[in-house]
Amino acid sequence: MPMKAAVLPVTPFQQNCTIFWNDETMRGGVSDPGGDIERILEVVGREGITLEKILLTHGHLDHASAAGDLAKQLGIPIEGPHEDDLFLIETLPEQSAKYGFPPVGAFVPDRWLVDGDRVEVAGLTFDVRHCPGHTPGHVVFFNDEARLAIVGDVLFQGSIGRTDLPRGNYQQLIDSITNRLWPLGDDVTFVPGHGPVSTFGQERATNPFVADENFA
């Protein structure tokens, strides 16, 4: 079941929205539609994809704010993040106004996720890893077949997510990365919430925050 993916930076925060689809059926989903719905739908239309689900890694503005409106427009469900991010999702409309984002509709995800859950989109399966630290309810989506992980603001090429925002926790974030992401394999390619893609192996070798040598 071949998966294809396209990464589209959205919002003034250049957040990596990922559109992924099953190459055989041209059905798929979108993770972290933080804004710019028209641009997301333009890519979807150009590729000829039918979206059937929205996935959220966490409740921050630039990742989640357009999810409710997109879900309503397309009549599709939202899955994720973990319920511990409810406090962020509840305040998205006021956060959007505060940061000058276009007005967004309030929503509650159709399904909260916990570690070990599986999410199914268009015949593609994602394993869910709960990775708190950047936010308490942050989750990561892993497609074993494509060896691809969508990690939001947990890990970046050469860096890690901020932990100075409400309910962030530095040690928890380090533990999430080393205990819940590294076991997936060095060969795994990950799409971070911002910036270029990388692999877990490259970060274990070179990332100043989480390289193996830090823990030797």
Residues that bind Zn ion (CB under 5 A): 60, 62, 153, 193
Cβ contacts of 210 within 8 Å, gap of 6 or more:
155, 160, 174, 177, 178, 203, 204
Beta carbon of residue 159, minimum distance to Zn ion (angstroms, whole number): 12
Length of the chain: 216
Of residues 124 and 131, the one with the C-beta less far from Zn ion: 131
Of residues 52 and 85, the one with the C-beta less far from Zn ion: 85
Beta carbon of residue 27, minimum distance to Zn ion (angstroms, whole number): 27
Q: How far apart are CA 180 and CA 174, in angstroms?
A: 10
DSSP 154-169: SEETTEE---SSTT--
Beta carbon of residue 62, minimum distance to Zn ion (angstroms, whole number): 5
Of residues 22 and 57, the one with the C-beta less far from Zn ion: 57
Distance set, CA 199 to CA 27, 76, 139 (Å) = 26, 31, 18
Of residues 147 and 162, the one with the C-beta less far from Zn ion: 162
Helices 67-74, 37-47: crossing angle, 10 deg rounding: 50
Q: How far apart are CA 36 and CA 28, in angstroms?
A: 18
Beta carbon of residue 193, minimum distance to Zn ion (angstroms, whole number): 4
